[in-house]
Amino acid sequence: MGLRLALIGVTVVFSLPGHADNWIEVGADPQGKYFVDSTSVAVDGETLRFRKKGVYNFSMLETFGDKRVSFRSSIGTIELDCVRRIHRVVQMDIISPEGEIVWSTGKMNRPWEDIAPNSLGEITRKLVCDSMSSS
């Protein structure tokens, strides 16, 4: 579960009722493609919060707690500090091939992590931070 969960953890999302999603691709790797919902970006002081989604190239099978689930995507919430170049995952939902949430972390209070240069996190940072500075 370690590597897959770490990859999933990078792709978390925050649900906002009543808005239309606008998923913008930020990159891909051998496991899948990753997107940011540009309509979900919200400012909270120095922090930006937004939804990010991973859509995997194949169904994954994992055990979460005592539940074995099959999934093709994950969506959750990312918090990002553009100036300090740090981010963290604060919620993660695992989505079945049918589009149902089959597991969720709920709200988490995770530590901030540095954004690695030349990573999907860095591409995401540039997209989200640049969109906020131009608005």
The CATH code of the domain that includes 24 is 2.40.128.710
What local confidence, expressed as pLDDT, does residue 2 receive?
37
Q: 88 CB contacts (<8 Å, ≥6 apart)? A: 78, 79, 110, 111, 112, 113
Residue 43 has pLDDT above 60, yes or no: yes
| pLDDT tens-digit map of 60-116 | 999 988 889 999 999 999 999 999 999 999 999 999 999 999 999 999 999 999 999
Domain interval for residue 99? 2-133
Q: What angle do CA 36, 50, 131 make, to 5 degrees?
A: 70
Q: Please state the pTM of the whole predicted model.
A: 0.81
Query: Rounded mean pLDDT of 47-61?
Result: 95
Which pLDDT score is estimated for 42? 96
Average predicted confidence (pLDDT) for the chain: 86
- Number of domains composing the chain: 1
Q: In terms of Cα–Cα distance, which of 131, 95, 86, 89 is closest to 109?
A: 89
Predicted confidence at residue 67, as pLDDT, reads: 86
